[in-house]
Amino acid sequence: MLSVSERAETARRAKRAYKARRSAGWVLGEPVPKLATVYARDNGVCYLCGERTTPPLGKATDPRDPKRPTIDHLVALSRGGKDTYANVKLACMLCNRRKSNR
């Protein structure tokens, strides 16, 4: 049986390993979804409200823009969803914030 500190250390190691795989661009043997690719696949349309989102401009995109495109996980990561193209859709920031992890 692991002590509380050992369990916490195991969780930290797993999180670091996940972040390393994600920053390398791969999780679960699949490429991590990129905003530009999801934007092109979904034609720049928010799947929740059906309105066109602002084209992604990288660092130049205004973080306060409510129509800024974001990646929304259909099954939230916090609820066991995976970070794969099959589990993501394009959503404007306003809709994504309203939806939260539902």
Q: Tokens 């999780």 correspond to what residue? A: 27
Would you say 91 and 39 are in contact if contact means Cβ atoms under 8 Å apart?
no
Q: Look at 20-29, 30-39, 65-74 and tell me which has the smallest mean pLDDT.
A: 20-29
Residue 28 predicted with pLDDT over 80: no
Would you say 93 and 64 are in contact if contact means Cβ atoms under 8 Å apart?
no
Q: Tokens 């306060």 correspond to what residue? A: 64
Q: What is this structure's pTM?
A: 0.66
Residue 90 predicted with pLDDT over 90: yes
Q: Look at 6-10, 16-20, 32-36, 88-92 and tell me which has the smallest mean pLDDT.
A: 16-20
State percent of the chain over pLDDT 70. 84
